[in-house]
Amino acid sequence: MLGKIRILFWITYGVWLAAFVVLPILLVLYQSLHDVHGRWTLENFFRFFSPVYLRMAGDSLWYAFWITFLSLVVAYPAALALVRLASRDFWLVALILPSWVNLLLKAYAFLGILSEHGPVNALVSLVGLGPVPLLFTDLGFVLVSVYIFIPFMILPIFNAVRAIPAELIDAARDLGASPLQVVRRVIWPLSLPGVRAGVQATFIPALSLFMITRLIAGNRVITLGTAIEQHFLVTGDWGMGSAIAVVLLLLMSASVIFARRSFFAAPVGGE
């Protein structure tokens, strides 16, 4: 009986995987090999290697790197602090609660928050440093993106740090390790799986951002996600949009492989 249930689960999962993962990818690949007249061609991929699209790819990687790096810088100490709190589950829910709000609503909210007469500039002006132009700038785009992705970085790191046995930390302290050494030699290596999961959960979607680039950056930031939207909804060149999507999928796959083989995957206690 258990064997039949297991086979049924595998069949259900296989059908779901084929319908919602494999088939869409094959359709995108098929469309990328056609021009606007429906003829087979490789021209779309040749066009991608022009300076314009290569610069978009470089900008996408650059912004995704900074969004991921800044999210990690903010999320890691926040996760360490959360684990130590008595009511940590309450504060964790309070922290990730904004991620349940629709992304479009959050983007429109930041239009008011970062505007010239918004609360951020009012606070900056109060200390004599403002007003600072944040809306429709690269800085505003990165700050809003970091805010949006921080919950996706904190959650896996929090779970990884919480799973570290307290006896290991106590043993390190008893052996004379300073708080910084405990973090660097014990907590950081043991939390690397959570860091890797957080980096992947942030870097991969950050590569294909497009709505925030329009609303917050005012089209000053053009990424591959913006180009895909432009080709599908404005120019009607689905072939070129699909070719960019295929390259984006390859970049995402490469980032996953890199994360698995980089220092994020260092063996525990490798230092």
For residue 76, the enclosing domain spans 50-260
Residue 170 resides in a domain:
yes
- 137-149 per-position pLDDT tens digit: 888 899 999 999 9
Residue 43 resides in a domain:
no
Give the pLDDT score at 264: 59
Residue 22 resides in a domain:
no
Residue 173 resides in a domain:
yes
Return the structure tokens found at 218. 């005012």
Q: What angle do CA 155, 157, 159 make, to 5 degrees?
A: 70
> Is pLDDT above 90 for 270?
no
pLDDT tier, 28 (very low <50, low <70, confident <90, very high otherwise): very high
End-to-end, the C-alpha distance of the chain in Å comes to: 49
Q: Which amino acid is at 48?
A: F
Residue 20 resides in a domain:
no
Q: Residue 108 maps to which CATH number?
A: 1.10.3720.10
pLDDT tier, 123 (very low <50, low <70, confident <90, very high otherwise): confident
What DSSP element (H or E) covers 250? helix 238-261
- Is the Cβ–Cβ distance between 264 and 204 less than 8 Å? no
- Is the Cβ–Cβ distance between 201 and 99 less than 8 Å? no
Residue 25 resides in a domain:
no
- 46-104 per-position pLDDT tens digit: 999 999 999 999 999 999 999 999 999 999 999 999 998 888 888 888 888 887 888 88
Q: Which of 101, 66, 89, 88 is nearest to 209 (CA)?
A: 66
pTM score, whole prediction: 0.86
Q: What is the tally of structural domains in the chain?
A: 1
Residue 31 resides in a domain:
no
pLDDT tier, 263 (very low <50, low <70, confident <90, very high otherwise): low
DSSP state of 127: T
- 198-247 per-position pLDDT tens digit: 998 999 889 888 888 888 887 778 888 888 988 998 888 999 999 999 99
Residue 32 resides in a domain:
no
Alpha-helical (H) ranges within 1-113 are: 2-17, 23-32, 43-48, 51-84, 88-96, 103-113
Integer Cα distance of 120 and 162 in angstroms: 34
